[in-house]
Amino acid sequence: MNRITDWVVDFSHLSFPVNCFGCNNALTSEEKGICSECVEHFPLTRYWEIPNNAVEKIFWGRINIERACSLMFFNKDGIAQRLMHKLKYEGKYEVGQMLGELFARKLIGTPFEKVDMVIPVPLHEKKRRQRGYNQCDFIAAGMASFFELSYQTNVVSRIRSNETQTNKGRFERWINVQELFRVHRPEVLVNKSVLLIDDVVTTGATLEACASALLDVEGLKVYVATIACPNPF
């Protein structure tokens, strides 16, 4: 049994390359998508085990979420950056579903698995058409599949296309995302707990705006999970 076994569930429905998405080294016959060496060296945050962690502190005084965490730290030229680039810009959507399922395994026994549904942060339709897909859909689908939860892509939408967030400061990002999202079919969300999924959190402005729209629904509770976050060290 190889070292990646504890991370991986059934990926037989996906088509995987012969080289690792993370390091480009050849995969063994037992490895799928990401080699065991890369998985072993993921810079894990373990924030799902730590209340009041650095990701949760991003939202303090801004929005009332239940918990927040990220799978790994985002370091320049590191494994998280390479995998996110494959997912977002090279069309390797298998990376998203795999990371979603890997992350879900880490959340077993935590409050994050006790939600009613999984919701990806949506892209504006214009950007979705340009890219061809929303990378967060695949992360959310992987997590929902593992937990056997409802996976909702049509309960919240991005109603305008905001400017790129790159190179913006926290206040500029916050201004840029105001009134960016709209909730549809709020009746399916009443008194529910949702896991809101994004690929990377930096200032938290987009997640805050999306969660704020969701929290207008009566009795709704929001948990946040992202694949990567800045390394505070």
pLDDT digit string, tens, across residues 123-151: 988 888 999 999 999 999 999 999 999 99
> Which residue's structure tokens are 């370091």?
75
pLDDT digit string, tens, across residues 164-174: 545 555 555 55
Name the amino acid, one letter, at 59.
F
Mean pLDDT of 58-72: 97
pLDDT-based confidence at residue 101 (cuts at 50, 70, 90): very high
User: Residue 174: what pLDDT?
Assistant: 52
Of the candidates 127, 110, 115, 100, the residue with the CA atom closest to the CA atom of residue 206: 127
**Lowest pLDDT segment from 5-9, 165-169, 185-189:** 5-9
Q: Where are the alpha helices (DSSP H) in 31-185?
A: 36-40, 54-58, 79-89, 93-106, 125-131, 135-147, 170-176
**Greater model confidence, 4 or 115:** 115
Q: Do 136 and 198 touch, CB atoms closer than 8 A?
A: yes
Class of domain 43-230: alpha beta
Sequence ranges of the domains in the chain: 1-41, 43-230
